Amino acid sequence: MKVAVFGIGYVGLVQAAVLAEVGHEVVCVDVNAERVENLKKGIIPIYEPGLTPLVERNYEAGRLQFTTDAELGVKHGKIQFIAVGTPPDEDGSADLQYVLAVAKTIATYMESPKIIVDKSTVPVGTADKVAECIAAVLKARGVSLDFDVVSNPEFLKEGAAVADCQRPDRIVIGTDSAIAESKMRELYAPFNRNHEKLIVMDVRSAELTKYAANCMLATKISFMNEMANLAEKLGADIEKVRLGIGSDPRIGYHFIYPGCGYGGSCFPKDVQALVRTAEKVGYTPELLRSVEAVNGRQKEKLFSHVQSYFNGDLAGKRIALWGLSFKPNTDDMRDASSRVLMENLWAAGAIVQAYDPEAMNETQRIYGTRADLNLMGTKESALNGADALVVCTEWNAFKAPDFDLIKETLSHAVIFDGRNLYDPAILEPQGIAYYGIGRGRSVE
Ligand SMILES: NC(=O)c1ccc[n+]([C@@H]2O[C@H](COP(=O)([O-])OP(=O)(O)OC[C@H]3O[C@@H](n4cnc5c(N)ncnc54)[C@H](O)[C@@H]3O)[C@@H](O)[C@H]2O)c1
**64 touches 44 (CB < 8 A):** no
Active site residue 266: yes
Q: pLDDT for 171-182, tens place per residue? A: 999 999 999 999
Residue of the nearest CA to atom 37 in ligand 1? 32
What gap in Å lies between CA 100 and CA 97, rounded to an integer? Answer: 5
Q: Is the CB of 314 under 6 A from ligand 1?
A: no
pLDDT score of 90: 87
Rounded to the nearest angstrom, the distance between the alpha carbon of 11 and the centre of ligand 1 is 6
Rounded to the nearest angstrom, the distance between the alpha carbon of 48 and the centre of ligand 1 is 15
State the catalytic residue, choosing from 28, 165, 260, 266.
266
Rounded to the nearest angstrom, the distance between the alpha carbon of 87 and the centre of ligand 1 is 9
Q: Is the CB of 11 under 6 A from ligand 1?
A: yes
DSSP 8-state secondary structure symbol assigned to residue 199: E
Distance between alpha carbon 237 and the CA centroid of its chain, in Å? 29
pLDDT score of 33: 98
Q: Is the CB of 6 under 6 A from ligand 1?
A: yes
Best mutation site among 84, 106, 155 for ligand 1 pocket (most ligand atoms within 8 Å of CB): 84
Collapsing DSSP to helix, strand or coil, 86 comes out as coil
Regions of the chain where pLDDT drops below 50: none
pLDDT score of 48: 95
pTM: 0.95
Best mutation site among 6, 28, 30, 68 for ligand 1 pocket (most ligand atoms within 8 Å of CB): 30
pLDDT score of 442: 61
pLDDT score of 444: 56
The closest alpha carbon to 103, from 89, 91, 124, 119, belongs to 119
Residue of the nearest CA to atom 28 in ligand 1? 98
What gap in Å lies between CA 281 and CA 103, rounded to an integer? Answer: 25
For 297-317, the three-class secondary structure string (H helix, E strand, C coil) is HHCCHHHHHHHHHCCCCCCCC
pLDDT score of 441: 65
pLDDT score of 443: 59
Rounded to the nearest angstrom, the distance between the alpha carbon of 46 and the centre of ligand 1 is 12
Please tell me the number of Cα atoms within 13 Å of 23 on its side-chain side: 7
**390 touches 341 (CB < 8 A):** yes
Q: pLDDT for 398-407, tens place per residue? A: 999 999 999 9
